[in-house]
A and B are shown apart, each in its own frame.
Chain A
Amino acid sequence: MLSPHLGRIGRTATLLLFAAVFGYPLLAYLAVAFRGGDGADSAVALGNAVATWQSILAFNDGTFLQWLTNSIIVASVGSVVAVVAALPAGYALARLRFRGRRLLRFLTLLTMVVPNTVLVIPIYLEVSAVGAVNNLWVVGLLMGFFPFGVYLAYIHFKTTLPTPIVESARLDGLTDVQTFFTIALPISKQAVALVGFFSFVANWTNFFLPMVLLPLSTSTTVSVGLQQLVSSSPLFDPTTAAGLDVRLYAPHLALATLVTTLPVLVVFVLAQRYLIRGQTLGAVKG
């Protein structure tokens, strides 16, 4: 056995090495966003980013801002719907006995562990059958189906809501619906934050669903839009790019990507104190 001292050095060195593996590409990418021109041999400067940002805005008459707006609409609608649906459902699953409870919980777990992209083509067939393709609100609503959120709420109510409180509310003559709204919900800020955060991030980064349901290039979200930026860049498609007024090089792509991740970071900071506690994660441990 190594001496504890050596062990600690080895441990720290390994952790730092992996920190470099994860951190270095991010830093390098961040730096590119602040380089000028086509990104080769140019110094990092804030002024470069300003110029780069203006060319991104000029791309297809400001379509980038339109994409960002679309993403904000879709992701916010989706997470509000998810929270509104998931909390009462999670409460009912955790605290009430009703017919179909086991089936509902089973379907929730199943849809939660199945990757959501395998449902995209079936959803596309459904949505195009009713002629609702290219509708932001439909996409937002569909994103509101977030079984993981129901699972989080279920765990939350199962573990953090003391049974005596619920029982005494029942004795006081409150109906279960009233108990949920007056007692359970007010002490569930953490669950709201968790469901809202995870759902927002999932919606924001969703690629396949908006790509299929919002095929018009102006009505799509920024995740699909980034792909259009890539395919318009002379780095990857010189022939198409030659016909465009705006030349998108590495700095443009990097800056656009970073701007795209800002909302996720903002939401993360807002929800952070609820996330880091990790109560929910600890609570599910078997």
Chain B
Amino acid sequence: MTAREQLATRPRIQPRRAAAPPAPPPRRRPNHAAAVLVTPYVLLLLVGGIIPVGYAVVKSLQNESETGFGGLSSYARVTADFRFVETFTNVALVLCVWLPVMLTTVVILALLIDASSRRFGATMRFVYYLPGSLAGIANFMLWLFLLNPGQSPVDFLWDGFGYTSLNEVAQPDNLPFILAAMLFFQGAGTWIIVLCGGLNGIPDELLEAARVDGATARAVVWHVKLPMLRPWLGYMTLLNLAYGFQLFLEPQVLSQVTHGLISPQWTPNQLSFTYAYQILDTPAAAAMSVILLLVTLSLGLLVIHRSRLFQDER
């Protein structure tokens, strides 16, 4: 399907180039029409993206009392904060646990579903997706219940570790694992659907050809299916790397229910929030957001640059 559509869109380009003379008139018109069609979105992009980022950059260059230019002083304040480096290592820890587990499990499950009968596979895919419908705070509420010994349906696990209270389960050393588990539980299903879509898109002729050539099922997985999934996996890794830096809700509420056993400034976003809402140091909050933006924007650029998904046709 995709190949055919690419073929369908491609020839369009060449005749246009060949027929250069009549090009100018139709060009004027689309310009005008495009402006009409694009305006609502551009306005939203300005209000919801560009202006806030620009404003944050400006704010971050103000001095602490917001009365004048402060150079990079707010950046100095934030980076000198004893929690600054820690917030990033915390995120890195979560990513180290979460990403490898997530990637391997998701690939294995997608391949297994792909090899199963249509109906059974679809049912399993649906079950895996279910926790994804409990996104955000709802997923967290479920986990609060799972993590609380005494009421948890996985109490046998906590028994095994000898934990008897939420504060013992959710101790700081365990937090990367807990957050990784929460993210996995919530996100794996969506990625399984994405990968199954990718596997479905492999042309039947290709699989048939491999079979005719005498390839075993295992060889088909290694030499046909996994290479086909590779762009998706790169995309998924980078996107989820960026996602790790946005962590806010889970550590924030965990900190609340454990009464500060978990630091309320566990992730970069929480530190930024603390500067904005509690310390009321707006330039520092802005500086922290700008730093976070730089990190995630560079990851975002990598996604766009590396991933074949977004490759432009010209």
Contacts and interface: CB of A to CB of B under 8 A. Distances in A.
B47 A145 contact: yes
B38 interface: yes
Contacts of B193: 278, 281
Contacts of A285: 2, 197-198, 201, 231-232, 309
Contacts, number: 302
A99 B31 contact: yes
Nearest to A227: B253
A264 B131 CA distance: 12
B48 A177 contact: no
Contacts of B217: 7
A65 interface: no
A253 B55 CA distance: 39
Contacts of A212: 273, 276-277
A118 B296 contact: yes
Interface in B22-58: 26-27, 29-31, 33-38, 40-45, 47-53, 55-56
B1 interface: yes
Given A227-B253, A230-B144, A129 B55 contact: yes
A161 B127 CA distance: 33
Chain A contact residues: helix, strand, loop or mixed: helix
B56 A235 contact: no
B289 A88 contact: no
A24 B155 CA distance: 13
Contacts of B272: 121
A231 B252 CA distance: 12
Interface in A48-96: 81, 84-86, 88-89, 91-93, 96
Contact of A230 (B48, B185, B239, B256): B256
Nearest to B51: A126
A107 B245 contact: no
A238 to B, nearest CB: 11
A61 to B, nearest CB: 22
A88 B48 contact: no
B197 A282 contact: yes
B288 interface: yes
Contacts of A223: 136-138
Contacts of A106: 304
B249 to A, nearest CB: 5
Interface stretch (B75-83, B92-100, B113-121, B206-214): B113-121
Interface in A20-54: 22-26, 28-29, 32, 39-40
Contacts of A12: 116, 120
Contact of A281 (B108, B127, B194, B310): B194
A218 to B, nearest CB: 18
Interface string B128-139: 101101111110
A144 B48 CA distance: 9
A208 interface: yes
B130 A22 contact: yes
A12 B34 CA distance: 52
B169 interface: no
Interface string B236-249: 00110011011011
Given A14-B112, A85-B41, A125-B286, A118 B145 contact: no
Contact of B242 (A11, A115, A163, A208): A115
6 contacts: A15-B112, A25-B131, A88-B40, A88-B41, A107-B49, A117-B248
Given A29-B142, A145-B45, A254-B145, 10 more contacts: A88-B41, A91-B37, A92-B37, A107-B45, A111-B49, A123-B52, A175-B33, A223-B136, A237-B257, A284-B309
